[in-house]
């Protein structure tokens, strides 16, 4: 599982900021297992963020240390 700087767990649907707070996005998938890596065709674990206008942006887990994802809000539960 991946966490924000405050220690809370990242969740699919969270509204976030990436690129040092410059780009808004929504967590689309947490890529943790080898099966998820294969499904997303990525070589390592990490976080897939839907970030218009770029589309899907994959952030490998090793980059999250120096470039953390900033939490904005939880997804609205219906």
Alpha-carbon span 14 to 26, nearest angstrom: 6
- Please give the C-alpha separations between residue 25 and each of 32, 51, 52, in angstroms, as whole numbers: 19, 4, 7
**For the segment 34-63, what is each residue's pLDDT rounded down to a tens digit?**
999 999 899 999 999 999 989 999 999 999
Domains of the chain, residue spans: 15-73
Q: What is the pLDDT of residues 1-28, one digit of tens each?
A: 899 999 999 999 999 999 999 999 999 9
Does the pTM of the predicted model rise above 0.95?
A: no
């Amino acid at each position: 599982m991946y966490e924000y700087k405050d220690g809370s767990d990242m969740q699919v649907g969270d509204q976030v900021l990436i690129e040092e707070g410059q780009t808004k996005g929504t967590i689309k998938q947490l890529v943790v297992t080898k099966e998820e890596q294969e499904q997303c065709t990525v070589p390592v674990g990490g976080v897939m963020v839907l970030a218009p206008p770029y589309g899907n942006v994959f952030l490998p887990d090793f980059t999250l240390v120096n470039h953390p994802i900033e939490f904005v809000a939880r997804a609205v539960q219906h």
